[in-house]
């Protein structure tokens, strides 16, 4: 249902004290700021505090929002309809600052949704107990906090395995259950006993145990988080679950891929996520697949990388994607 913004009104701003305010342990304070009637029906003041323990915010409010803060605050008058569309915790979007977006050079696909991680996603110990042959599993990672670095390697998997974290995804096709070895048959019957075929997502699959498939992406993106490292290089060739997005370069040229990684890991690229993601407070930004494809890539970064210094014919290859990345090899 579409909202009629002309009938909406911001009554007050609710500002939580965070990094810029000292909060005694156990106290969680907030302040309600009533908006002046002359702006409430059409817009609101958006304020960002840059300094801890500043008095500027209080002075600005007490002035009836008339004072023009010089230090400590960034104050922007915004339209209500724009604010609700952009997100009230996000800054006013700027005009397009680059001729390039990430979707020009990559395709984004969601990670695998199993519908029942506790059944399909296992630890090494669980795999051994089931006796299911290794060929029915692929290595996977489910949680963003399981990856603390900007690269997933075999060492990463070994470390997670030593901590008892699941890294084995039961990846089955649509073959008849009778074609599977006895250990796998027994495990699937256990799933039927647990009524997994009736679960919402799983019930849509035929047969119910057929899992979503992906080609191992060269890069991952942390779907939701506060981490500075949002793009991750997938050296180990794992399959990500829904905590990540799969990032597939449209060029298979190794030199282009190496330079694309430099672009993805550049601080200016990561900073632009605030322009296309949804803020959930304390620096957490959630980015959907189509939004990530619209991520502006700063031209000053592109100019330094030969990925874009090719002939027109070679560049056009980056825009051609004939691979179905939802399928495994």
Phi, psi of 232 (to 5 degrees): -130, 135
Rounded Cα distance between 66 and 268, Å, is 34
CATH number attached to the domain at 102-170+214-319: 3.90.220.20
Q: Are residues 91 and 171 in contact, defined by beta-carbon separation less than 8 angstroms?
A: no
What Rg do the C-alpha atoms of the chain give, in angstroms?
Answer: 25
pTM of the model: 0.74
H helix intervals, the chain: 37-40, 56-62, 80-86, 117-120, 124-130, 154-162, 182-193, 254-264, 267-271, 273-276, 289-293, 299-302, 312-316
Structure tokens of 299?
Answer: 């031209």
More confident residue, 90 or 183: 183
Residues of the chain within CATH 3.90.220.20 domain(s) are 102-170+214-319
Phi, psi of 13 (to 5 degrees): -100, 140
Q: To which H or E segment does residue 45 belong? A: strand 43-49
Rounded Cα distance between 174 and 213, Å, is 11
Q: What pLDDT score was predicted for residue 7?
A: 60
From 51-55, 118-122, 181-185, the region with the lowest mean pLDDT? 51-55
Q: Are residues 207 and 116 in contact, defined by beta-carbon separation less than 8 angstroms?
A: no
Mean pLDDT of the chain: 81
Cα–chain-centroid distance for residue 107? 14
Rounded Cα distance between 84 and 49, Å, is 21
Q: What angle do CA 184, 190, 192 make, to 5 degrees?
A: 110
Rounded Cα distance between 222 and 149, Å, is 12
What confidence tens digit (pLDDT) does each residue in 63-88 have? Answer: 887 888 777 788 888 888 877 777 67
Residue 146 gets which letter from DSSP? Answer: G
Q: What pLDDT score was predicted for residue 175?
A: 94
From 132-141, 245-254, 269-278, the region with the lowest mean pLDDT? 269-278
Q: How far apart are the first and last CA of the chain?
A: 41
Alpha-carbon dihedral angle through residues 286, 290, 292, 298, given to the nearest 10 degrees: -140
């Amino acid at each position: 249902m579409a909202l009629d913004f002309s009938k909406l009104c911001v009554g007050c701003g609710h500002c939580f004290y965070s990094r810029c305010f000292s909060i005694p342990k156990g106290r969680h304070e907030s302040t309600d700021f009533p908006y002046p009637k002359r702006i409430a029906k059409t817009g609101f003041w958006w304020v960002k505090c840059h300094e801890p323990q500043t008095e500027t915010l209080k002075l600005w409010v007490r002035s009836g929002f008339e004072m023009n803060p010089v230090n400590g605050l960034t104050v922007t008058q915004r339209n209500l309809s724009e604010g609700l569309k952009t997100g009230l915790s996000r800054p006013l979007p700027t005009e397009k600052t680059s001729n390039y977006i990430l979707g020009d050079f990559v395709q984004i696909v969601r990670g695998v949704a199993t519908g029942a991680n506790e059944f399909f996603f296992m630890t090494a110990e669980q795999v051994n107990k089931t006796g299911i042959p290794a060929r029915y599993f692929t290595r996977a990672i489910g949680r963003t906090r399981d990856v603390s670095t900007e690269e997933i390697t075999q060492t990463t998997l070994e470390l997670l395995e030593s901590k008892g974290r699941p890294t084995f995804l039961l990846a089955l096709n649509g073959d008849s259950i009778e074609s599977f070895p006895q250990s796998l048959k027994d495990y699937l019957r256990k799933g039927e006993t647990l009524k997994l075929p009736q679960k919402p997502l799983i019930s849509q699959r035929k047969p119910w145990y057929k899992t979503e498939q992906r080609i191992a992406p060269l890069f991952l993106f942390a779907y939701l988080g506060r981490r500075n490292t949002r793009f991750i290089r997938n050296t180990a060739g794992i399959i990500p679950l829904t905590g990540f997005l799969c990032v597939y370069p449209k060029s298979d040229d190794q030199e282009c891929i190496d330079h694309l990684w430099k672009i993805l890991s550049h601080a200016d690229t990561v900073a632009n996520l605030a322009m296309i993601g949804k803020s959930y407070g304390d620096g957490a930004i959630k980015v959907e697949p189509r939004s990530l494809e619209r991520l502006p890539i700063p031209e000053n970064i592109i100019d330094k990388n030969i990925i874009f210094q090719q002939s027109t014919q070679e560049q056009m290859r980056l825009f051609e994607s004939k691979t179905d990345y939802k399928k495994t090899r």
